[in-house]
Each structure stands twice: as structure tokens, then as C-alpha cells.
Structure 1
Amino acid sequence: MNLGRGVPLHAIPPDAPLCIVGFKAGRKDLFFCEDPSLRLSEGDLVIVEADRGRDVGKYIKSCTVDEVHKFQQQMVELALGQLANPATGANAGVEGLGAALGQQGPGAQANPAQLARMTKECQPKRIYTKAGPADTHALLAKAQDEIKALQLVRSKVAQKGLPMEILDAEWQWDRRKLTFYYTADQRVDFRELVRELFRIWKTRVWLCCLDQQQPSFDLQ
């Protein structure tokens, strides 16, 4: 089992609760709780399995397997509808999904990569435990480092004249990944920028376009 890739929905123990956890930039993802006795309330900070490591997010609510299946079916229907009639937009005609397609607005056209993400099988990751007092204190340092990173990258983007706007920065809890959220009206070649940022922080650097991020779980 590869850390960070999650577990197929059908392979999760039936007594493991499913939960939605939120992160920066409106990102939400689905997790399962390894400890069924762990009691979580809305707003609790939880330590979760992340990309090749661990992260901290905010517990939003629990959900059922049926709700997840319904959400996935809606994503398939959206993708099929977009393929059949691209002019209508990927999120036209579906009720109750809210931010399920991230920042993609009415009439936006999904590309093949987005359609693939929309129909990808759900593989929830683990919730390990609640964040403790020391973890909460460390969040303040992480937030300060994110502000510094955001300021630095904005200056780099301006210096290089890249046609993009950097909106936010997010360190993974274990500092194994640094994500910058951006918007752009055209394709941007930021490979040189990423190499330069890697030399600065010596960690994985990921630039995430908010118009193309994977659908977030927003089960309503």
C-alpha cells in the first residue's frame, strides 16, 4: 500500500467512518478514520495521510458510502455531459454540488485531464488522529512561513514577467511539499521558476491552477 495514494473505497473496513476534511484554497478531500472510537467535531484539526507524508486539515463532517457513490455518479454525468455538449460547460444542470468543481465557473469547458480527474475512482486516505496542542502551535509557524513563501514567489513571478497571479501558498504539514495556487488566462511555462524554487527550499514544489484542480468533495 503506497503512502499518500489512499485506499479504494471498497477496501475500507466497514467500521471505519468516512469524513470530509478541508484545506487551503477551498480544497476538500475524503478520508477514513482508522480509529472508529475517535470522536470528531466540526472544526477539529486532524493529522491525515498526504502526498508521500502527513498533513493537517480541518474536519468538516462525516459522510456515508452512499453519498460518496452519488457524488462520483454526478461527476461521471458531468463529464459525459461535457463531452456530449462542450458549449454548456462542465457544471451546468447539476444541483447541490456547489464548489465540487473548484473554481470552474458556469460555461467553463473541461479539458481531457479535468474530465479524467472528475471520473477517477475515489480512494480515501487515512485520518491518523486529532492535532494536539504542540501541533496547533506549529501551525502558527507554518502560516508565517507560507506568507514569506507567497511574497517571495510573487516577486519571482513579477521579475520573470510570467502571465499568472499567485493567490496563496500552502506547506504540507511535514514540509515535504510546497504548493502555490495560481490563476492564469493562458498556458504558462513555469519550469524555470519551479527549478529555482526547489533550489531555495529543497523540497517538492507544486503549482496548482485553481481552474484545473481536482474536484473537491462537497457532499450536500
Structure 2
Amino acid sequence: MGCSTCATGKDGQPKGCKNNGTCGSDGCNKLTVFDWLANMSLPNGVEPFNCVEVRFKNGRKQFFHNPENLTLSIADVVATEASPGHDVGVVTLTGELVRVQMKKKKVKEDSEEVLKIYRKASQRDIDVWQEARDKEDKMKVRAREIAIRLDLRMKISDIEFQGDGSKATFYYTAEERVDFRQLIKEFAREFNTRIEMRQIGFRQEAARLGGIGSCGRELCCSTWLTDFRSVNTSAARYQQLSLNPQKLAGQCGKLKCCLNYELDTYLDALKDFPKTDTKLYTKKGTAVCQKIDIFQGVLWYAYEGEWMNWHKLTAEQASKIVKANIAKETIASLEEYEVLVEVEKASKTDYTNVVGQDSLTRFDTPKSNNTKKRRKNKRKKGKPSNNG
């Protein structure tokens, strides 16, 4: 992503604003919220909301009180309360929208989770913060080596230093419970800092690291999706998708979150269809559902023993037969209700130049008739004559 005032350099960092992902408009950041109330002034006698939203590494956000009534705006670097010491983050939202976000995420203003802002970060705070951030990549490589040596079945995906450099949080994923007591001792001895281990799910790991999905766009979880709802294979079955794990799985190895996006629409459409396991009883035989097309609103049935011959029925016709069976009325056959399919002749599409583009063969030199005549004359001259 990038805001309108910066472009992307060779290393993927914004080069226009020179802030390495922290623009004044906050457009280069992940999970950013557009402040559509920024241009509106508060009514007379109404004080501004005294909480702000602060972003830390990889889109992690928290709400903080502003007890000193500091004049804060988006992209300000602030020093916040932490345990122990202080942390350094970037203000991403101020004003009444913070109240809306806190209500949406069910965070109360007087909750213990809402800490306070100490001050705007000084140059010394920023220098210590950047120095600690520069250590993270090297520490991650060394931490993985130690975990492999201790034969622990876990993956250390990311490390986040606190703003004052007094604590490092190790984010890891694991299939089973991990006993990392010895690991913490070695980490404390190796890195000489306070260590905190935090286990995250595979979806949270993908959200923190980011990436490109099979659709060609950035991952939903790292750009706008904030809540991770459970996804199961029934969502794929309702949408008539092939149960191929390689296509249904995302970057995290779990089922794609986008399988839930259109699920409600499919469930509403399936209300007009009879259940696929319901059999149709006719005098000719018992018919079983073979296939369903939600978009066209049709179903295909086949008689038991005649599995190669399918009969196409609309959802209304199939429901009518089901109601007749419930009323113990037996119809003659499916052919009476079958939808006649008209076979359309495949016609060649005549493509025309509607956008004014030049022909792709404009540089090819057409062969003239004179060239062909010359070749024929050369062949005739080369042949020996039979008269002699």
C-alpha cells in the first residue's frame, strides 16, 4: 500500500515521504482507519474524546488515555505506558472515531486495558526505539537456531522490541503445547534482555507478516480484516467448490477467510432448492439428485440403475414433485417435468477493432505475386529440357 504523496522504492519502502511506512496521512500503514470526521469541528461546550489509538509493529493497535491533554494528531510518535518501562508507537486515530472503535472492539474507557500516554516521543526515545528495532532480524535468526538445537516443535515467526529496549516479545506458532522454560533461560543469557513468549495462531501469523494471496492482492487479514471467524469445509460444499486442499488453503495453511464472504448469499439461494439427499419417487423408478446449479436454479436427477441418463429440472419443479411425494401422490416420470435444453449452434465471434488499436501484423511485409512468379521461373530454368 502507499498513500498519494509517496511512491515505493527498490527495497519496498516508501521513498516520497521518507518515513518508511509512517506517512502523515497514515495511508501506508496496515489496517488503517480513515478519519472522515477530521474536517468537522465539535459543537460548543463539547470536549474532545480523551483517548487515542496508537499503532505498534505490524498493525498491533491499542487505546490509550491522554491525561495531559496533549495536542496529538495522526502520525505523531508518542511514548506510552508499558509494563515495565515505556513503549513507543505512532498515533493512528484521534477524536470521536476512537470512541466508535472502542465500542466496536468492546473496550471500555475505564478499563484497565486502556493505559496512558506519557509524552510526545523525544529524539532520544526515537533513537533508542530504532536501535532496538534494528536488532530484531538478527535476533530472530539466532532464536530459531537455539529452538532447533533444543529440538522444540515451534516456529518463531516474529520479534517485537519494546520502545525503551527493556523487553522483547517473541511471537511463535506451534501445533502442540511447548515447554520453553529452558528456551527462555538461553534467550535471556544470549540476548541479555527481558523475554516474553506469546503464542499466536496461524491466521494471526499471516496477518502480522503479510503477503500476496492467490487472487493477486494483499492478504485480507493484513490489510482490513480484523476478526477471524471460523471457516470449515461446509462453506465450500454449499458453494459447490471442489474440495481441493491446495486451492482452498491460504498462506497460513488454513481454509481461506474469503470462503465466508458469499456464504450467506448461497445459503439464501439454497432455501428455494429441495435437499440434495431427498429422493423423487415416480412410477418409472426412484430418482436421485446428481448435480445442482445455484445460478441457473436447476437440478439434475437420474433414475437408480440408469445413472448415465440425467434429467434436468428446475427448483420449482423438483419442489412440486417432493410435495406430491409427501402427499403420497406418485407421478408418472421425470420426463413430464424435464426442462427441454435447446442446443445452440456455436457461432464464430467476429472480433472488430473497437478501440482503434493498430493491427499486430502491421510490420509484416505481405508477399506479392511478383515474388511467387520469380520463384516459379527459377525452378523452370533449373530443370533440364527433354528435347535433344
TM-score bin, normalised by smaller chain = 0.5 to 0.7
Q: TM-score, normalised by structure 2?
A: 0.36
1:50 to 75, 78, 82: 82
**Residue correspondence of structure 1 range 22-37 to structure 2 within 5 A:** 22-36=55-69
**Residue correspondence of structure 1 range 61-72 to structure 2 within 5 A:** 61-62=93-94, 63-65=97-99, 67-72=101-106
Deviation for aligned residue 1:153: 0.4
How far apart, CA to CA, are the structure 2 residues paired with 1:51 and 1:151? 26
How far apart, CA to CA, are the structure 1 residues paired with 2:120 and 2:48? 19
Deviation for aligned residue 1:69: 3.8
How far apart, CA to CA, are the structure 2 residues paired with 1:204 and 1:134? 21
Residue 40 (structure 1) aligned with residue 51 (structure 2): no
From the two aligned structures, give the one with the greater helix fraction: 1
How far apart, CA to CA, are the structure 2 residues paired with 1:130 and 1:47? 6
How far apart, CA to CA, are the structure 2 residues paired with 1:146 and 1:133? 21
How far apart, CA to CA, are the structure 1 residues paired with 2:62 and 2:115? 9
Deviation for aligned residue 1:19: 1.0
Tell me, yes or no, if the aligned pair for 2:125 and 2:164 is still in contact at 8 Å.
Answer: no
1:110-162, Cα deviation, whole Å (9 max, x unpaired): xxxxxxxxxxx553111111222333233331122222221210111122222
- Over 3 Å counting, the alpha-carbon distance change for 1:25 and 1:159 in structure 2 is farther
Deviation for aligned residue 1:64: 4.5
Give secondary structure in 1 for the equivalent of 2:133. Answer: helix
Tell me, yes or no, if the aligned pair for 1:41 and 1:59 is still in contact at 8 Å.
Answer: yes
Aligned residues: 155
Tell me, yes or no, if the aligned pair for 1:169 and 1:178 is still in contact at 8 Å.
Answer: yes
From the two aligned structures, give the one with the greater strand fraction: 1
1:155-183, Cα deviation, whole Å (9 max, x unpaired): 11122222111111122122321111111
Residue 201 (structure 1) aligned with residue 196 (structure 2): no
Tell me, yes or no, if the aligned pair for 1:16 and 1:35 is still in contact at 8 Å.
Answer: no
How far apart, CA to CA, are the structure 2 residues paired with 1:176 and 1:134? 15
1:172-213, Cα deviation, whole Å (9 max, x unpaired): 122321111111222211111011112233432111112299
Taking only the aligned residue pairs, the percentage that are identical comes to 34
Counterpart for residue 60 of structure 1: 92
Residue 168 (structure 1) aligned with residue 158 (structure 2): yes
Q: TM-score, normalised by structure 1?
A: 0.61
How far apart, CA to CA, are the structure 2 residues paired with 1:28 and 1:192? 31
Deviation for aligned residue 1:67: 4.5
Residue 180 (structure 1) aligned with residue 170 (structure 2): yes
Give secondary structure in 1 for the equivalent of 2:65. Answer: strand
**Rg bigger for which structure?**
2
User: What 5-or-longer segments of structure 2 have no aligned partner?
Assistant: 1-46, 205-225, 227-388
Counterpart for residue 17 of structure 1: 50
Tell me, yes or no, if the aligned pair for 1:23 and 1:57 is still in contact at 8 Å.
Answer: yes
What amino acid sits opposite 1:40 in the alignment? L
Tell me, yes or no, if the aligned pair for 1:48 and 1:55 is still in contact at 8 Å.
Answer: yes
Counterpart for residue 148 of structure 1: 138
Alpha-carbon RMSD across the aligned residues, in angstroms, is 2.8
Give secondary structure in 2 for the equivalent of 1:150. Answer: helix
- Over 3 Å counting, the alpha-carbon distance change for 1:187 and 1:26 in structure 2 is farther
How far apart, CA to CA, are the structure 1 residues paired with 2:112 and 2:201? 21
Counterpart for residue 10 of structure 1: none
